[in-house]
Amino acid sequence: MMHSLIQLSIAVLLLPLLSFVVLIFFNRRLPRMGDFVGVGLVGTAFACALTIFWQVVVQHYDPAFRVAWEFTWLDFGNVPGVGPLQVKMGIVIDNLTAIMLAMVTLISTLVHLYSTGYMQGDPKYGRFFAYLGIFTFSMIGIVLSDNLFSIYMFWELVGLSSYLLIGFYFYKDSAADAQKKAFLTNRIGDIGMWLGILILYSQFHTFGYREIFENIAAGKFNMSNGWLTAAGILLFMGCVGKSAQFPLHVWLPDAMEGPTPVSALIHAATMVAAGVYFVARIFVLLTPDALHVIAFIGAFTAFMSATIAITQHDIKRVLAYSTVSQLGYMVLGLGVGSYSAALFHLLTHAFFKACLFLGSGAIIHAMHHEQDMRWMGGLYKKMPWTFVTFSIATLALAGLPLTSGFLSKDAILAGALGFAQVEGGGIYYLVPAFGFAAAVMTAFYMGRQVWLVFFGESRTHLKPAEEHGHDAHAAHGHDDHGHEDHGHHEVHEVPWNMRLPLVILATLSVFIVFSPDPLDGGKGWFMHLVQTPATVVASTEAAHEAASLHAPEAGKLLAEAHTDNQHVEAAATHQTEGHGPVYADPRQAEIAHMTHANHFPAIQLSSLMLVIGIGMAFIVYVFRIIDPDKTAHSIRPLYLYSFNKWYWDEIYDATFIKGSMLISKILAWFDANIVDGIVNGIATIFRKFAFANGGFDKYVVDGLVNFTAFTVQTTGAVFRKIQTGKVQTYLLMVVVAVLAYFAFYIAQLIK
């Protein structure tokens, strides 16, 4: 008997799939190409998800809530050396799942709704909803799955749907390139993730999170601890791919080739967040070393993409890089061990970034597929709704107090500070430093964007014609936005079905939704429900070293593992103050404590950063005290470096892509000429031998034959002289013969 929640969650899982199946086959036969099917089914899924959310989060308000259900998917029978072996698939519902479920389905529903307006009139309108359906399905699968195998499957399915949606305008070469790039980059991340899964499986013969964690906690991990760290980092590679972390971040900006609702749903809110979600799922088995790697990668990504975002012109690219940067924040948060803060940021970011993208979509829609901010401006009167919601989301992203973004980002930065202190400063202070720097730049480029887009005069007429025609056409492609006049055209507010999602999402970007205290997310329900789980690796670490070393040294090591005593005591007091659970692992406990201790410094710092950033934006773009173009000129190399995205694409293209193409050419040549050449060579040798043999046969064996023939012929020629064909000659012969007889006769007589 399945738990009712499970049944509901299965419904949530399957309804979008149903929508996909129906739409992919029947979209042309249905009225309105069946968009109502998509919206309706996903809406129903959202309703179910909401029910789950209500039951889990509101009714039993319990951090430890967990419902699980599993079934045997594969039965390997009695495997030699392992015993009975089954691969189970299952669903686990805990607070995080419930929240993610609600978030995903909500945004998906909103995006469906929004698309009915945005994609209006596209020839493949119906198929678009089908793709959205399969995406939602696989995303929910990721959220629900309780084991590494099924999450890997849904992981790749998400990749597929992202591939399909990025390439929705596949007749554009740029889109085709982008979708391929996205899929392949994700694949690279996935093989890392897959190897990580393999490492764990090879030890425990199971894919389930629970079993794996329990086994590790029980010290059943038979390989060296390095392998465990490796497993953690490899699994994290999956997140690097999906969540577009450095060095695999390059695909996300290009993914903006897809329709804007897709960017909002997949490349801002849900899919890219799946990486973070996955790391959170496996958080407990990450060793400190793995966590360090994660923290640094996150921090660097946040910083780097922020710098890039500053100089981009395309409204969606700015948002894309800001997404990468925010994802960097989350990863950083996980890396520094402030688990719940990272997930909190994931949630809040999902809402306001989706809002931003949908807003930009509205702008692009209104501007008739104009995406370049340089040619926008002065839209706030024409599109008030869009303007208001967009600005709220912007402030949330910049992390203004009273917004949701402030709560989560601040929590992460606090965690970063605490982490740096616990790890003993030094290089580790880079992590918070990057974080804060990114915060400054976030505020700056968002201010820049808002100003360029909404304020000032409309600069549409400034746009150079040919470039204009070019990318407008590219963006237009097949869809029947009838008039092609790219001069001054009436920009008007978007219809209600595109406005409503903006409003809802903007509303969800306000602090009160998450926490009563506008300054402390820790007091909110999220932080209460989603608490940092106790890590399972430290114990194995100790066990390993204890096993590998003599007892006293092992004891010393353990003592060192707790860096110094006062932290331990502090951790103890931290428990007594009643923030969060008790941590067996000293390191984790200290970080939790220091995080809490660094709460207010973090607030002050980040607010300061915010002021600096927005202030700079005002100085540069509003009051024009500093002319951006002049500045760009004066620091041209830096500007170019940022504008060209640190040249990552070029570097990868020059190394990996060109390299592998070269290798493939070489190998193909090798195959065609060397390997096959050897084969043909052998064949030729045999043929040559056969020729030689044939020659022997011809000139020696056959020669003898011919020789006899020749002799016969010559003798024949001789005798042919006699064979005159004249009777008389023959008669002569006869006579001669007779005379010979006479001679014989006479000889007889003489005897």
As measured in angstroms, the least distance from the Cβ of 86 to other proteins is 10
Amino acid type, 501? P
Toward other proteins, which CB reaches closer, 200 or 268?
200
Residue of 611, 150, 538, 610 whose CA lies nearest to 337: 538
Q: Which of 608, 679, 685, 701 binds other proteins (CB under 8 A)?
A: 679
By CB under 8 A, is residue 722 in contact with other proteins? no
Alpha carbon distance 219, 66 (integer Å)? 24
Alpha carbon distance 293, 336 (integer Å)? 10
Encoding tokens for residue 459?
């600069």
Alpha carbon distance 160, 707 (integer Å)? 78
Encoding tokens for residue 512?
């009160």
Q: Which of 675, 701, 712, 722 binds other proteins (CB under 8 A)?
A: 675
User: What does the radius of gyration of the chain's CA atoms come to, in whole angstroms?
Assistant: 39
By CB under 8 A, is residue 30 in contact with other proteins? no
By CB under 8 A, is residue 184 in contact with other proteins? yes
Q: How many residues does the chain have?
A: 751
By CB under 8 A, is residue 474 in contact with other proteins? no
By CB under 8 A, is residue 224 in contact with other proteins? no
By CB under 8 A, is residue 21 in contact with other proteins? no
Q: Which of 660, 693, 706, 715 binds other proteins (CB under 8 A)?
A: 660
Binders of other proteins among residues 201 to 220 (CB under 8 A) are 201-202
Toward other proteins, which CB reaches closer, 626 or 667?
667
CA 201 to chain centre: 23
By CB under 8 A, is residue 626 in contact with other proteins? no
Encoding tokens for residue 663?
């290798």
By CB under 8 A, is residue 608 in contact with other proteins? no
By CB under 8 A, is residue 160 in contact with other proteins? yes
By CB under 8 A, is residue 731 in contact with other proteins? yes
Question: Of the listed pieces 164-172, 438-446, 558-566, 688-696, which binds other proteins according to CB under 8 A?
Answer: 164-172
How many chain residues are in contact with other proteins, going by CB under 8 A?
A: 70
Question: Of the listed pieces 181-189, 281-289, 505-513, 692-700, which binds other proteins according to CB under 8 A?
Answer: 181-189
Residue of 365, 187, 325, 166 whose CA lies nearest to 256: 166
Question: Of the listed pieces 40-48, 313-321, 668-676, 698-706, which binds other proteins according to CB under 8 A?
Answer: 668-676
Toward other proteins, which CB reaches closer, 569 or 653?
653
Which three-class secondary structure state does DSSP give residue 246? coil
By CB under 8 A, is residue 183 in contact with other proteins? yes
Alpha carbon distance 142, 147 (integer Å)? 10
By CB under 8 A, is residue 549 in contact with other proteins? no
Alpha carbon distance 626, 217 (integer Å)? 58
Toward other proteins, which CB reaches closer, 184 or 388?
184
By CB under 8 A, is residue 749 in contact with other proteins? yes
Q: Which of 54, 61, 691, 742 binds other proteins (CB under 8 A)?
A: 742
Which three-class secondary structure state does DSSP give residue 224? coil
Task: Please name the residues in contact with 570: beta carbons below 8 A apart, sequence gap of 6 or more.
Answer: 590, 593, 594, 597
Q: Are 536 and 213 in contact (CB under 8 A)?
A: yes
Burial (Cβ within 10 Å: 0-12, 13-18, ≥19) of residue 60: exposed
By CB under 8 A, is residue 721 in contact with other proteins? no
As measured in angstroms, the least distance from the Cβ of 262 to other proteins is 17
State the Cα angle at 17 between 16 and 18, rounded to 5°.
90
Alpha carbon distance 587, 419 (integer Å)? 10
Amino acid type, 127? R
Phi, psi of 644 (to 5 degrees): -90, 25
By CB under 8 A, is residue 482 in contact with other proteins? no
By CB under 8 A, is residue 685 in contact with other proteins? no
Toward other proteins, which CB reaches closer, 13 or 175?
175
Question: Of the listed pieces 273-281, 286-294, 555-563, 743-751, which binds other proteins according to CB under 8 A?
Answer: 743-751
By CB under 8 A, is residue 691 in contact with other proteins? no
Toward other proteins, which CB reaches closer, 202 or 548?
202
By CB under 8 A, is residue 746 in contact with other proteins? yes
Q: Which of 462, 584, 625, 667 binds other proteins (CB under 8 A)?
A: 667
Q: Which of 21, 47, 153, 554 binds other proteins (CB under 8 A)?
A: 153
Encoding tokens for residue 28?
């042309």
Return the exposure string of 141-177: e unless at least 16 CB atoms fall within 10 Å of the residue's CB, then b: bbbbbbbbbbbbebbbbbbebbbbbbbbbeebeebee
By CB under 8 A, is residue 732 in contact with other proteins? yes
As measured in angstroms, the least distance from the Cβ of 595 to other proteins is 37
By CB under 8 A, is residue 195 in contact with other proteins? yes
Residue with tokens 């804060």: 436
Q: Are 39 and 113 in contact (CB under 8 A)?
A: yes
Question: Of the listed pieces 277-285, 589-597, 598-606, 660-668, which binds other proteins according to CB under 8 A?
Answer: 660-668
Task: Please name the residues in contact with 337: beta carbons below 8 A apart, sequence gap of 6 or more.
Answer: 291, 415, 419, 532, 587, 588, 591, 592, 595
Q: Are 284 and 415 in contact (CB under 8 A)?
A: no
Toward other proteins, which CB reaches closer, 201 or 652?
201
Toward other proteins, which CB reaches closer, 154 or 419?
154
Q: Which of 727, 747, 750, 751 binds other proteins (CB under 8 A)?
A: 727
By CB under 8 A, is residue 167 in contact with other proteins? yes
As measured in angstroms, the least distance from the Cβ of 171 to other proteins is 6
Site string for other proteins, 46-85 (x = CB under 8 A): ---------------------------xxxxxxxxxx--x
The strand pairing partners of 72, in sequence order, are: 88
By CB under 8 A, is residue 714 in contact with other proteins? no
Number of H helices and E strands in the chain, helices first, is 32, 2
CA 373 to chain centre: 27
Alpha carbon distance 221, 217 (integer Å)? 9
Toward other proteins, which CB reaches closer, 71 or 647?
71
DSSP per residue, 41-90: HHHHHHHHHHHHHIIIIIIS--TT-EEEEEEEEEEEEEETTTEEEEEEEE
Toward other proteins, which CB reaches closer, 191 or 572?
191
Alpha carbon distance 368, 380 (integer Å)? 17
By CB under 8 A, is residue 569 in contact with other proteins? no
Toward other proteins, which CB reaches closer, 66 or 481?
481
Residues near other proteins, by CB under 8 A? 73-82, 85, 149, 152-157, 160, 167, 170-173, 175-177, 179-180, 183-184, 187-188, 190-191, 194-195, 198-199, 201-202, 660-661, 663-665, 667-668, 671, 675-676, 679, 683, 720, 723-729, 731-732, 735, 738-739, 742, 745-746, 749
